[in-house]
Structure 1
Amino acid sequence: MRLISCLLPLLFCLSTSLHAEPIRVGITEVPPFVMQNDAGEWEGISIDLWRQIAGNLELEYELVPMSFSDLLDGARTGSVDVAVGALTMTAEREAEFDFTHPFYQTGLAIGVPREDSPGILRSLGALLSWQFLSLVAGLALLLLLVGSLLWLVERRRNTEQFGGTPAQGIGASFWWAAVTMTTVGYGDKAPVTLAGRLIALVWMFAGLIMVASFTAAITSALTVSNLQRQINGPRDLPGFTVATVADTASAEYLTEQRIDQARFPDLTSAMRAVAADEADAVVYDRPLMQHRNRELGDQRLDILSNTFSEQLYAFALPSGSQLRGPLAQEVLRVTESAEWQSLLDRYLGRR
């Protein structure tokens, strides 16, 4: 059996050498696994792995760039002999075409808008928000209304406290309404008429409710502003609009979890939509999102540290392809070598 295992790649090379046409290798740009450098040459984790395997098996091939959907169709219909990229192994795809052994294991991650402001600045921002300022303006208008009503009934019989010009009288009544509502009650001004005291009695009880409501509004604004973020993991995603890429494992995950999603043709568009507040978060494969995030500049997102829904990357081939056995064996041989970790560190950084 060991002899057969060793001779299998050799027999495969002899059989493929009889074919005049090179192997068609479909690729789609998915940095850092497949990408094009400034010189127009293809490189990346998957490309370097493929070149090493093809060199070991002495295969002649041509790289055929195509879109992600065309790449899947090519593996499904056999228009390409091998699909190279960051293809996730799933049961549905396994039923349509074959996979080699996986060469990379990762998981889905969540990207959310960045929060650069310190807590004190977020609190000040909440206090200066339009909603909070409109609440203060409404309260001031109510104080002015109550004060004006008291001035109307007190201005003739209580000229010492609410007399003078209309502006002076209303100003004094506004002050009385404010200190009465807050239960401070300086005692410097008080109504003397029956109507004025009835207004004061009603306003004192109403003031208790107003103060409680106003305090709750301030507390709510400060609490929400000081939350680090509303999405801290996959359990927080329901109820939000989540961006992802169509026809991917991440889109399938969101569909299974019944999470409202916005689908985009590529990862960059999905991440920019989150930065522009067109979506609340983005879910995609962690290494791909980390690499794209470095290219977004001011539109960078915060990538949450936890991963979920394990993803396994592998090469895809048409069902029944004779390439599967030799390629799968070479994938194991390369990924078990010391050079493989060096290759990952070169593209992903030392982990």
Structure 2
Amino acid sequence: MNKGGKAFWLAVIFLTALPFVAFSAPAAPATTPAKSTSTTKALVVGIYESPPFCTKMPDGQWTGLSVELWKTVAHSLNLRYHWSEYEFHDLLKAVANGDIDAAIGPISVTADREVIMDFTHPYYVSDLAIAVPAKDSFYPWGEVAREFMTVAWLKLIIILIIMLTLSGFAVWWFERHQNHAQFGGPWRHGLGSAFWWAAVTMSGVGYGDKTPITVPGRAIALVWMFISVITVALVTGSVTSAVVANRVVYRIHSPSDLGRAHVAVLNGSTAEQYALLTRIDYSIYSTVLDGLQAVLKREVDACLANEVQLRYITQQQFRRKLEILPFTFQREDCSFALPNNSPLKESLNRAILTEVESDHWRAIRAQYLGKDG
């Protein structure tokens, strides 16, 4: 075979084998995208009304110490998110069940909570404190007065006036001729004396300057005295009950006094846990604001809650009506809460530590808590 024939057959063999070589070659590995801190899915961040940490504005926007920290951290990590509002007790359940990706606010780290959820590094340290009525508002006479400004009391007063008028008129009618010196004379003078007698008899004073002398007059006087004794006793009891019900019956001076008091606590809070463990009589409320209003209404003796919240709300809404006792106890490390094994924890921790060491964070604290915050 000449050289031209060999070249021809080599070309044929090469072209025939080429498809098999192409199909048998290993496929190129797929390109792996680089890791990123950004999320394609918007995170659901639970939040609850807890000024000055989380405050909902009239336009629906959220602001506050915790909110500003989360916004800064989320921006640095390129996180997309939206708020989901809860009451505090339900917020803890949501994060423990994994219904939300994170929860913010003054959520304190405890051993019991650590079992069912995770926490970031603390960003603020506070304590529990006690709010009580201010000394100059210890006796709420305005509240007592409102107790008597009701339809029931108005009816009672009208009935008493009618009874006093009838008894006075009856005594005058029977005494005006035979007891002329005390109930006689012109009818205006006689009736006036009779009404005066009925009033002093009902009050229990009984000056003795007017005394019936006829049998019918004395019979009426006897019945009126019995009615007056019963009426005065009922009225006195009602007034006493109103005064007692609308004042703090036990004055708190220090945490040691809580054992004999009835306090308000936030539902699901560490304050509730403290009250339960120390056997303090307590009632639960949905917000710290509700608890403080209960103190003002004398439904409870004091409100036990986060010191920062108590001071902030008191200064904003209850100045000179409520006061915070100069005692704190049980440290509270405020953190963001996460579901167990959350992939966000490490990146959030690094971002939080970076932020809380910055001048920007000190400026935010001063904005919401003052220079000493």
The alignment's TM-score, normalised by the length of structure 1, stands at 0.58
Moved more, 167-176 or 247-256: 247-256
Q: Does 1:158 align with 2:179?
A: yes
Moved more, 279-288 or 110-119: 110-119
> In the TM superposition, what are the counterparts of 1:1-351 in structure 2 within 5 Å?
18-20=34-36, 22=38, 26-29=44-47, 30=49, 31-34=51-54, 44-50=64-70, 59-68=77-86, 69=90, 73-74=94-95, 76-77=97-98, 80=101, 82-107=102-127, 122=142, 125=145, 129-130=149-150, 137-163=158-184, 169-179=190-200, 181-186=204-209, 189-193=210-214, 196=217, 202=222, 209=229, 213=233, 216=236, 220=240, 227=247, 236-237=261-262, 259-261=282-284, 263=286, 270=290, 285=306, 287-288=308-309, 304-306=323-325, 311-321=332-342, 324=345, 328=349, 331=352, 335=356, 340-351=361-372
- Is the Cα contact below 8 Å between 1:154 and 1:162 reproduced in 2? yes
Q: Secondary structure at the match of 2:108?
A: coil
Across the two proteins, how many residue pairs are aligned to each other?
318
Deviation at 1:347, TM superposition (A): 1.5
Q: Which has the larger radius of gyration?
A: 2
2: CA distance between counterparts of 1:198 and 1:344? 79
2: CA distance between counterparts of 1:127 and 1:40? 37
Amino acid at match of 1:64: H
- Is the Cα contact below 8 Å between 2:91 and 2:103 reproduced in 1? no
Moved more, 19-28 or 125-134: 125-134
- Is the Cα contact below 8 Å between 2:167 and 2:224 reproduced in 1? no
Q: Secondary structure at the match of 1:151?
A: helix
1: CA distance between counterparts of 2:269 and 2:71? 25
2: CA distance between counterparts of 1:177 and 1:197? 12
Amino acid at match of 2:107: L
The alignment's TM-score, normalised by the length of structure 2, stands at 0.55
1:85-113 CA deviation, whole Å, 9 max, x = no partner?
Answer: 43232344311121133222335667899
Q: Secondary structure at the match of 2:195?
A: helix
- Which ranges of structure 2 fall in alignment gaps of 5 or more residues? 1-32, 253-257
Q: Secondary structure at the match of 1:347?
A: helix
- Which ranges of structure 1 fall in alignment gaps of 5 or more residues? 1-16
Deviation at 1:171, TM superposition (A): 3.7
1:6 equivalent in structure 2: none
1:6-52 CA deviation, whole Å, 9 max, x = no partner?
Answer: xxxxxxxxxxx952462565534555435688999976433544566
1:11 equivalent in structure 2: none
Amino acid at match of 2:206: T
2: CA distance between counterparts of 1:122 and 1:65? 41
1: CA distance between counterparts of 2:68 and 2:145? 49
1: CA distance between counterparts of 2:106 and 2:283? 25
Q: What value does the CA root-mean-square deviation take over the aligned residues?
A: 5.8
2:23 equivalent in structure 1: none
Moved more, 311-320 or 20-29: 20-29
Deviation at 1:319, TM superposition (A): 2.4
Deviation at 1:84, TM superposition (A): 3.8
2: CA distance between counterparts of 1:115 and 1:129? 26
Quick one: structure 1 residues 316 and 166, their matched pair in 2 at CA, closer, same or farther if it must change by over 3 Å?
same
1:3 equivalent in structure 2: none
Amino acid at match of 1:305: I
2: CA distance between counterparts of 1:301 and 1:129? 25
2:3 equivalent in structure 1: none
2: CA distance between counterparts of 1:37 and 1:152? 71
